Amino acid sequence: MVGGHFTYAEVPLFDTIKEAFNLERNNYDKVGHFAQGFVPAVVAREILIRNNIVNGRSWLNVFIVSICLAFSAFYELIEWWVAISTGEDAEAFLGTQGYIWDTQSDMAVALLGAICAILLLARYHDKQLAQLSFTDDKITVV
């Protein structure tokens, strides 16, 4: 909501960070793109495991990352469509700040978020799932 109030390119805390580290742009939008990979990774993992869709942990991780990147790519398409429809306000909405690789770096940060979610939360998630018993449509704590 902070980014919505100020626009992504003008969030004050990230302006301070920009100045402190002598960066070229305000990178607040990267926080959102990291979450765009991190949060769906947890949800996708839960759905794929509970429904026993993928066999093997390696393939599970590949599908989780692929799902997160698909969400990220779709969001970038929405940004592009909004930019086309709004015309001159596109630069403020997109927050690219003149960075031609903004879309690609946004997706790379979402990829990083997905990988971090897998690395940081997979064991904890597996322990939580081990405490549940799945019978038909009912889930009970063991």
Q: How confident is the model at residue 134 (pLDDT cuts 50, 70, 90)?
A: low
Average pLDDT of the chain?
80
What's the mean pLDDT in 22-42?
A: 83
Q: What is the mean pLDDT of residues 39-55?
A: 93
Q: What is the pLDDT of residues 74-102, one digit of tens each?
A: 988 888 888 788 776 666 555 555 667 87
Say how far apart CA 79 and CA 54 lie, in whole Å.
32
| Residue 10 banded pLDDT, cuts 50, 70, 90 | low
CA dihedral 103→57→63→140, nearest 10 degrees, is -110
pLDDT at 38 over 90: yes
Give the C-alpha separation, 75 to 88, whole Å: 20
Domain definitions of the chain by residue range: 33-141
Structure confidence at residue 3 (pLDDT): 47
Q: What is the mean pLDDT of residues 108-119?
A: 96
- Verdict on whether the full-model pTM lies above 0.85: no
- pLDDT-derived band at 48 (thresholds 50, 70, 90) equals very high
Taking alpha carbons only, the member of 103, 115, 120 closest to residue 64 is 115
